[in-house]
Structure 1
Amino acid sequence: MDELTTHIFKITSSKPYNDNHKYYCIECPDWVNIVAIATTGEIILVKQYRYGINDMTLELPAGMVDNEDNNPLEAARRELLEETGYGKGQWISLGWMHPNPAIQNNRCHSFLAKNVEKIADIKNDLHENTEPVLISPTTMEDWICTGKITHSLAISAFYLYQNLRK
């Protein structure tokens, strides 16, 4: 197998610069996640089923930077609106990170969306069903520390948000 392509990733083989062994890389589009703060001061999470762990998660609104927008900020605005019905507000880039540079080539762009408000109904994609959950920043910290929130990219984005608040 030298290449496997799906609608969300492609697996390719390559040789690293200093080795004769074949390695595989998961080529993915960039991702976004959003630390969205409602006008009430609460953080908006989404509760959704994740096939990889066969369980429900609590995480930040997130998604792919699709070819149609190819712009992380526009993708973040779209994902927040689709998954939660929230929008508007003031948007700030929190930066980006490599989710798993050992085997993936993409970036995850994190954004802070302050003072967002409910402006639409949820419009999930075919394979997702999200339920917004609003919590205080203190509760988010507690849920990370107690393992109720385990999504590493959500935890990383929350850390970037906390660092910005200092």
Structure 2
Amino acid sequence: MDLTETEISSKEIFKGRIVDLAVRTIRLPNGASATREVVNHQPAAAVIAVNSKQEMLLVEQWREPIKELTLEIPAGLIDETDASPLDAMKRELNEEGGYRADYWEKVAEFYSSPGFTNEKLHLFYCDTLTELTDKRPLDTDEFLTTHWYNLADLKQLSAQGKIVDAKTLYAMSVWENMLLTGAKAKE
């Protein structure tokens, strides 16, 4: 069975700085029509940043949609000043963490929640971190603190429901797999 849905029409409902909302009418595989609400989202980059103590960098920040503090890997939108997702991630690691890295590896590309948004994330791994004295300033509406956690602590925080961000949970899994297979990271 062909599961492809075909767009019949699309109406933009909202146009924002980060997201746009469209309502689409689509033709289903059985010929009937349905409505889909689609959030068009700028692509983003995120990083598994690991220090020499084998700890992963997380940022703690308030997330208004869920009205709570979260622990997340450093991440940010890819904007017009970035030549590539890696350039965006290097900028974000500087802004959010105050670090640069000598080694970078692309780990994955994935969609955050393809049932309603086209947000694509580019996930990188880096180590050989150097703390910067010339850290770039955060965005004017961005407030966060940084924390370092080893894998055991991350797993405990996750089990306690203190890590709720999907990209961070995925990054933890990727890092654990890297440690188990000896892919790049060393325990």
Verify same fold: TM over 0.5. yes
CA displacement, residues 48-90 of structure 1 (integer Å, 9 cap, x when unaligned): 1111121211111111111221511111111111001011231
Residue 121 of structure 1: aligned partner: 135
Q: Verify: 1:14 aligned to 2:27, yes or no.
A: no
Q: Verify: 1:138 aligned to 2:152, yes or no.
A: yes
- Whether contact under 8 Å (1:26, 1:105) holds in the other structure is yes
Kindly name which structure, 1 or 2, has the bigger radius of gyration based on alpha carbons. 2
CA displacement at 1:155 relative to structure 2: 0.5
Q: How many residues align?
A: 166
Superposition RMSD in Å: 1.6
Structure 1: which 4+ aligned runs deviate by more than 6 Å?
A: none
Normalized against structure 2, the TM-score is what? Answer: 0.82
For structure 2, the 5+ residue unaligned runs are 1-10, 182-187
- Whether contact under 8 Å (1:14, 1:25) holds in the other structure is yes
For structure 1, the 5+ residue unaligned runs are none
Paired residues for 1:1-166 under 5 Å = 2-18=12-28, 19-119=32-132, 120-121=134-135, 123-165=137-179, 166=181
Distance 1:160 1:67 in 2: 29
* 2:154 partner letter: M
Q: Which has the higher contact order (CA 8 A, sep 6+)?
A: 1
Query: Kindly tell me: are residues 25 and 70 of structure 1, through their superposed partners in 2, closer, same or farther at Cα, counting changes over 3 Å?
Result: farther
CA displacement at 1:140 relative to structure 2: 1.1
Query: Kindly tell me: are residues 70 and 15 of structure 1, through their superposed partners in 2, closer, same or farther at Cα, counting changes over 3 Å?
Result: farther
CA displacement at 1:27 relative to structure 2: 0.4
Query: Kindly tell me: are residues 141 and 122 of structure 1, through their superposed partners in 2, closer, same or farther at Cα, counting changes over 3 Å?
Result: farther
Percent identity between the two aligned chains: 23
- Whether contact under 8 Å (1:28, 1:106) holds in the other structure is yes
Q: Which has the higher strand share?
A: 2
